A and B are shown apart, each in its own frame.
Chain A
């Protein structure tokens, strides 16, 4: 079965026809040529395909494109309009928070959304007391980023980059 859908991807309105079996990830990569979202495990276990869907981080490999009709999608590419890097992207560069780089777009999207969640006062599983705003310790960063795997093991620098980006985001 085919379906016609519309997505707003990285600021651009896109109309496309997809097989109902097409995931959002495949629609982005294969139908629209947006390769910023990466295909890792394709089972929702690695986080490489993470994008912001209507502003929230999601894995795109388990979402059917047809079910996302009308949605706004921001990939890591869309976080750098005109080539100006988002502070999280800049921090990843400065802290050498990657080796092969394949998981990086997903890490970056996840981190951007995660910092918004922290700003909104959302607790995590490791937060002491659910109603007190969490201090973003390294333990908190690791817990909140646990849905993004890095097979190169760049975690130490990923945590450092996110710590830096959070510090900059908190600055006036």
Chain B
């Protein structure tokens, strides 16, 4: 591990100023991804500014009925929060589907959003990777790409975003509150992460020194009927092959409103706006769900080893919406 200076931030503003002023500084949250990357040689920060002791650990109700989640709230605490469990079950389930009990006790809300891809080539410094080392090429395009993207990828990068929580937040129309040089601003979660394009080294639209201080989830009453389903190679403690976050409201057998996001298939949590549009006003049937999935997946471009993800996403969406329509798992 490259030597580094460690500092503990006294307040969010000075943390931002400190990291902004140092081109090779990074914020330290739970460390479950960053510390690993430092050990693997993927990241070499010279200055770590620890933000875990800032007063960003509260979950508060907003006047409009929404929820403000401090960026320092640990994944385990957010998952079991009473309001989240009752009103946003999709978020609770997504968090509980991620990592392990030990890691969820460390991982923060802000850090979870900013965790980096688990593409094996990205994490292996002996291989080419445009995300880790721009311009060196992508080993995954012609390599072992079973875990990789089917939507929104580029010739430069086919990695997927690994977060479960972010998929739920994308479905819930959540925003991140970002503190930067110019003060505070809000970014919808679905616009926070980028598609790789020509610059896969940039995971998000954030600038160096920007600090996520909170996530805001709107009231969204329909989210009371929402769920997260994660498909993986083993029953637990693995990243998603594909995952689906959904909220469904059915009236008189018709889809009145719906929210859908997919995980494990793109460089960002994939909000399925086309599928949602196809479903609104349609009969709440397996046929409609399947057609909605087809609409979203029309542009899918599978790689050599991951074409299975197309039917897997389609089937998982059909199953999950079916459950939500029949008062299955909350």
Write the residues of chain A forming the contact surface with B, with a CB cutoff of 8 angstroms: 1, 3, 19-21, 23, 42-44, 47, 50, 53, 56-59, 62-64, 66-67, 110, 113-114, 117, 120-125, 128-131, 142-148
Contact = CB atoms under 8 A, between A and B. Distances in A.
B6 A47 contact: no
B58 to A, nearest CB: 18
A42 B36 CA distance: 8
Contacts of B92: 123, 130
Contact of A63 (B3, B5, B106): B106
B159 to A, nearest CB: 19
Given A20-B3, A64-B28, A66-B6, A125 B102 contact: no
Contacts of A122: 76, 79-80
Nearest to B4: A20
Nearest to B230: A125
Contacts of B30: 62
B35 interface: yes
A23 B35 contact: yes
B272 interface: no
A147 B99 contact: yes
What interface size band does chain B fall in?
Answer: 35 or more
A21 B38 CA distance: 9
Given A59-B32, A142-B235, 12 more contacts: A1-B5, A1-B6, A19-B3, A20-B5, A21-B4, A21-B38, A57-B101, A67-B52, A123-B80, A146-B236, A146-B237, A147-B101
B330 interface: yes
Contacts of B80: 120-123
Given A42-B39, A62-B31, A62-B32, A67 B6 contact: yes
A131 B105 CA distance: 20
B144 to A, nearest CB: 18
A63 B35 contact: yes
Nearest to B74: A56
Contacts of A19: 3
